Amino acid sequence: MLVLTSAGPGEGKTTAASNLAVTLTEIRRKVLLIDADLRRPRLHEIFDISNDRGLSDLLQAKATDVFDVMQGIVRETPVRNLFVLPAGPPVATGVLHSALLPALLRRFRKEFDMVLIDTPPVLQMPDARVVARQADAAVLVVKSGTTTRDAAIAAADRLTADGARILGTVLNHWNPKKSPSGYYGSSNGYGYYRADLNRPSEAVQE
């Protein structure tokens, strides 16, 4: 179970989560993609599914009937073996602190080979930190030329302070043709970045 988050908005975490989910289905994994960005959900738009019911409904259900309510909320997508739990209607801040969240995630672990959770930016609100404590690890998405080293380090520090394990970092919008030394990876716009903490703070460059 992985949480995907970013330091700030617009850094490509939802795209990265969606692409990773599709890739996992290609190696015959049954995947659930959860939209836990309850304020600015996007997964229902990407996969063209309804957002009339979703995670917010489950977190507000009674403990005695939450698993009955779950039926029909987890949606199939056109991608074989890929399922999406949309965010659902807007709710009050703090609903992710519900005691039902750990129970739901335990149920999903049993039913799916992999669970990916798209969460809000970690420096803007605590939601990603709340969910990451329940997951196996977190993946931090940073955007080339936009995310500063200070922001990336601060995001990582907040996650690790809560005991979350950071599995790695995805460098988004990276152009290898313009890349200085220190970058490596494939040419599909994703890569990995290793920060030099001795250099001055600046945006991660292409």
CATH code of residue 144: 3.40.50.300
Residue ranges of E strands in the chain: 2-6, 31-35, 75-76, 82-85, 114-118, 137-143, 166-172, 183-184, 190-193
pLDDT digits (tens, 9 = 90+) for 143-188: 988 899 999 999 999 999 999 999 999 998 877 766 554 443 443 4
Residue 200 lies in a domain: no
Spatial distance between the Cα atoms of 194 and 142, rounded to a whole number of angstroms: 12
Rounded to 10 degrees, the C-alpha dihedral 12/19/141/196 comes to -120
Residue 201 lies in a domain: no
Query: 120: which DSSP letter?
Result: -
Residue 7 lies in a domain: yes
Average pLDDT of span 105-126: 94
Domain count, the chain: 1
Predicted model pTM: 0.83
- Contact indicator for 179, 190 with CB cutoff of 8 Å: no
Domain enclosing residue 29, as ranges: 2-193
- Partners of 171 in the beta sheet? 142, 191
Which residue has 């005991």 as its token pair? 163
Question: What average pLDDT is seen over the chain?
Answer: 84
Residue 156 lies in a domain: yes
Range name among 17-21, 52-56, 59-63, 192-196 with the lowest pLDDT average: 192-196
Phi-psi region at 81: left, alpha or beta (left = phi > 0; alpha = psi -120 to 50)? left
- Contact indicator for 144, 173 with CB cutoff of 8 Å: yes
The enclosing H or E element of 158 equals helix 149-161
Residue 151 lies in a domain: yes
- Contact indicator for 206, 193 with CB cutoff of 8 Å: no
Residue 202 lies in a domain: no
